[in-house]
Amino acid sequence: MPKVKIPRKSTIVDMTAMCDVAFLLLSFFILATKQKPPEVMAVTPPNSISAKVAPDKAILITMTKDGRAFISLGDETRKADILKDINTIKQLGLTPSELAKWGKTEFYGLPLNQVKSSLALSDPIPPIKLPGIPISDTTNNELTDWLRSVTNVFAGEDQKQLQEMLLIKGDGEVLYPVFKNVKRAFKKNQLFKFRIVTNGEPVPIGSELYMDSKKK
């Protein structure tokens, strides 16, 4: 009987191709992930089990640790309308060129009566040094004025869309009265639904909600 000779093959596999794939994927993920805009305001939001993703272009109210409040107005066209509206209502007396300059700001955190003078400065004030929108005074809560202009601009549109765009982001250490003042500004404008930016976390195992979701 002739013996069948099985040729012995090396078990070494060429890793080059695999290496190429790995690094191709790596570079793809690095390039494809959206670069987060650098956080101007260092804010650590609290955690919640909510799984809804916060929208990017939003009317965002930021509360910093030291209790200052800022507003950012989302997409450019609306922003210009909102600024125009607040300019006429609060009689800030800004010229069109000043308005355009004002529109370039991302975080608004100045008392309205200081806006005109701040626009005359050659360098804009860095966001960290802004005093914040005055909210502590119940009679002159300027966030109310801001939100009034926001509602004015969105008046003819789908209110549900606006609700989804209204976001409050706050540092966990902000004292409750600050949050209450912000809420008050919302309520004064008949805005009862808004959203809080949080860091997502999983539903704790063994909790009621966890059991409920298991049953389904």
Partner 1 sequence: MAEMDTSSGGSHKKGPGVKKGKKLSTRVDLTPMVDLGFLLVTFFVFTTTMQQSTAMNMNEPKDDNPEEQMKVKNSGAMTILLGKQDQLYYYYGQLDPATLSEQFKSTSFKEIRQLIVDKKKATPIDDLMYIIKSDSSSNFKNAIDILDEMAISAVPAGHYAEVDITPAEALMIRETEAANGIK
Q: Which of 54, 92, 99, 125 binds partner 1 (CB under 8 A)?
A: 54
Q: Which of 41, 73, 83, 178 binds partner 1 (CB under 8 A)?
A: 178
Closest CA to 183 of 86, 63, 90, 78: 63
Asked whether the CA dihedral 84, 183, 169, 32 is positive or negative, the reply is negative
116-119-124-130 Cα dihedral, nearest 10 degrees: 10
The tokens describing 162, both together, are 């606006």
Cβ distance to partner 1 smaller for residue 93 or 172: 172
Contact flag: residue 53 with partner 1 (CB under 8 A): yes
In the complex, minimum distance from the CB of residue 117 to partner 1, in angstroms, rounded to a whole number: 32
Region near partner 1 per CB under 8 A, out of 69-77, 110-118, 130-138, 173-181:
173-181
Q: Which residues contact 10 (CB under 8 A, 6 or more apart)?
A: none
**Contact status, residue 69 vs residue 143, Cβ threshold 8 Å:** yes
In the complex, minimum distance from the CB of residue 82 to partner 1, in angstroms, rounded to a whole number: 21
In the complex, minimum distance from the CB of residue 213 to partner 1, in angstroms, rounded to a whole number: 9
Q: Which of 73, 144, 171, 181 binds partner 1 (CB under 8 A)?
A: 171
Q: Which residues contact 50 (CB under 8 A, 6 or more apart)?
A: 198, 200
Q: Which of 9, 39, 192, 216 binds partner 1 (CB under 8 A)?
A: 192
Per-residue contact flags (x/-) with partner 1 for residues 12 to 31, judged by CB under 8 A: --xxx-xxx-xx-xx--xx-
Q: End-to-end CA distance of the chain, in Å?
A: 67
Q: Which residue is it, tokens 């701040």?
A: 118
Closest CA to 79 of 54, 61, 56, 105: 105
**Contact status, residue 85 vs residue 149, Cβ threshold 8 Å:** yes
Cβ distance to partner 1 smaller for residue 93 or 173: 173
Closest CA to 171 of 115, 132, 113, 120: 132
In the complex, minimum distance from the CB of residue 3 to partner 1, in angstroms, rounded to a whole number: 28
Contact flag: residue 129 with partner 1 (CB under 8 A): no
Cβ distance to partner 1 smaller for residue 97 or 176: 176
Binding residues for partner 1, rule: CB under 8 A, are 14-16, 18-20, 22-23, 25-26, 29-30, 33, 36, 45-55, 63, 167-180, 183, 186-187, 192-200, 203-204, 207-209, 212
